[in-house]
């Protein structure tokens, strides 16, 4: 059972006109066993939150804290964050030239566990995990994200999630660019993960449709770098019906 705690987080990015504050005090606690959805209009800072938790160098935390089971995440290197049990799947996954999916997964697993997985069980695990998201085994020999379709990238994220089996998963726009079948397959993967004891999920999305498949315990609405409202799953239904207008109209 682990807890990801974000307290009064302020984050800036460097722009041509100097630093610009994007996150303006975000406070959020995800206890093990809980799934939280962050929703909000484009540009409200959702990805900035994910990148900040991931330790992306472009994002500067100017104040506030992020802890995992009391340990200071912001002090950790990107690798240390993964070893501590954080999994960050990004909205725009990068290509890794010349590295096959198979090698990438094995290297990540080895880095996190501190030892290489036993080859025979590992190959079986990879094959089973890939077949659960209906990926051809030949996919393992392709280079990471090179020429992947939107759906393949997202399925690959779920393969990573299942094989690396973190404590807390932060999933940014896992639903973007997916057709209805892929959305269901990817959602089932997230649900398999969270059905395990004590796992935390932070699901970031612009659309409500993924929340028909993955039922969040709590919904937070992001507007202009802050949480404007929070509630239970019914808040997502309300957003589906009414959109973000009532928040954005107030903030302009």
Q: From the list 36, 45, 133, 220, which residue makes contact with ligand ADP (rule: CB under 6 A)? A: 45
Q: Which does 123 bind (CB under 5 to 8 A by kind): Mg ion, ligand ADP, none?
A: none
Rounded distance between C-alpha atoms, residue 84 and residue 71, angstroms: 9
Name the segment binding ligand ADP (CB under 6 A); options: 27-35, 38-46, 63-71, 124-132.
38-46
Q: From the list 12, 44, 47, 208, which residue makes contact with Mg ion (rule: CB under 5 A)? A: 47
In the chain, the largest separation of any two C-alpha atoms, in whole Å, equals: 58
Q: Which does 117 bind (CB under 5 to 8 A by kind): Mg ion, ligand ADP, none?
A: none
| Tokens 């100017």 -> residue | 62
Q: Which is closer to Mg ion, CB of 42 or CB of 121? A: 42
Q: Which does 58 bind (CB under 5 to 8 A by kind): Mg ion, ligand ADP, none?
A: ligand ADP
Q: Which is closer to ligand ADP, CB of 88 or CB of 130? A: 88
Q: Which is closer to ligand ADP, CB of 90 or CB of 214? A: 90
Name the segment binding ligand ADP (CB under 6 A); options: 26-34, 42-50, 77-85, 242-250.
42-50
Q: Which does 15 bind (CB under 5 to 8 A by kind): Mg ion, ligand ADP, none?
A: ligand ADP
Q: Is 44 in the site for Mg ion (CB under 5 A)?
A: no
Q: From the list 25, 32, 33, 43, which residue makes contact with ligand ADP (rule: CB under 6 A)? A: 43
Q: Which is closer to ligand ADP, CB of 16 or CB of 195? A: 16
Sheet holding 71-72, edge to edge: 18-31, 3-15, 59-68, 71-72
Q: Which is closer to Mg ion, CB of 101 or CB of 228? A: 228
Binding site for Mg ion (CB under 5 A): 42, 46-47, 91
């Amino acid at each position: 059972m682990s807890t990801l705690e974000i307290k009064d987080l302020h984050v800036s990015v460097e722009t041509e006109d100097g630093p610009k504050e994007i996150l303006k005090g975000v406070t959020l606690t995800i206890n093990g066993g809980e799934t939280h959805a962050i929703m909000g209009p484009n540009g409200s800072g959702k990805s900035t939150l994910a990148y900040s938790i991931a330790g992306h160098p472009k994002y500067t935390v100017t104040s506030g804290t992020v802890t995992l089971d009391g340990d200071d995440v912001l002090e950790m290197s990107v690798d240390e964050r993964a070893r501590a049990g954080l999994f960050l799947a990004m909205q725009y996954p990068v290509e890794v030239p010349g590295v096959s999916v198979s090698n990438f997964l094995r290297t990540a697993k080895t880095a996190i566990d501190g030892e290489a997985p036993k080859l025979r069980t590992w190959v079986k695990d990879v094959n089973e995990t890939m077949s659960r998201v209906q990926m051809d085994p030949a996919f393992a020999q392709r280079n990471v994200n090179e020429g992947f379709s939107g759906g393949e990238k997202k399925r690959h994220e779920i393969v990573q999630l299942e094989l690396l089996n973190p404590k807390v998963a932060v999933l940014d726009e896992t639903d973007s660019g997916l057709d209805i079948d892929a959305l269901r397959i990817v959602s089932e993967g997230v649900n398999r993960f969270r059905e395990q004891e004590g796992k935390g999920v932070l699901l970031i999305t612009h659309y409500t449709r993924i929340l028909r498949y993955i039922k969040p315990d709590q919904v937070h609405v992001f507007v202009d770098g802050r949480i404007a409202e929070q509630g239970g799953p019914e808040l997502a239904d309300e957003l589906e019906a009414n959109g973000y207008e009532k928040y954005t109209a107030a903030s302009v």
